Structure 1
């Protein structure tokens, strides 16, 4: 009887490590999936391939300024228009610099 009594305990304990391994694998996959969604915001490449010069500032709903870093060697200015489109502005253009300065002052006043 002793061998039979030990057999189910051995089989159960053999399932525990594989169940733990499966749980660890699922947790890792969930972490990778959540990290890939968060990575969509901070991709490791430049977001602006070309910039737009002629846009009226009144059509801009919001502005995102991305500083140069390991992902991109240049500053990027991404404007969201009132229609919902996103466009890249030339960060070196004088009107863009002036607009960003005003926009940042307005944001800090809120």
Structure 2
């Protein structure tokens, strides 16, 4: 099922480690709190992460300007 940015409550990225050699991306949905494991290699998920990162970067710059 597709994941839309507006439907996300939270997204967590867990880096690869000795116990798990894969990067894990866990999305928590706003509507029902459901947690979904997302494929970090998916182009759609990579685009989603870029968009979120870009949005955070904009907010950070705005906050710094206002201070």
Structure-2 residue corresponding to 1:95: 44
Supply the distance in 2 between the matched residues of 1:71 and 1:103 (Cα, whole angstroms). Answer: 28
Instruction: Name structure 2 gaps, 5 residues minimum.
Output: 60-67
Structure-1 residue corresponding to 2:26: 78
* Rg larger in structure: 1
Q: Which structure dedicates a bigger proportion of its chain to strand?
A: 2
Structure-2 residue corresponding to 1:49: none
CA-based RMSD of the aligned residues comes to 1.4
Supply the distance in 2 between the matched residues of 1:79 and 1:55 (Cα, whole angstroms). Answer: 12
Matched, 1:68 2:16: yes
C-alpha offsets along residues 46-92 of structure 1, whole Å, 9 cap, x if unaligned? xxxxxxxx123132222111111113100011111112121111111
User: Which runs of at least 4 in structure 1 moved beyond 2 Å after TM superposition?
Assistant: none
- What is the aligned length? 57
Q: Which structure dedicates a bigger proportion of its chain to helix?
A: 1
- The TM-score with structure 1 as length reference comes to 0.47
SS in 1 for 2:57: helix
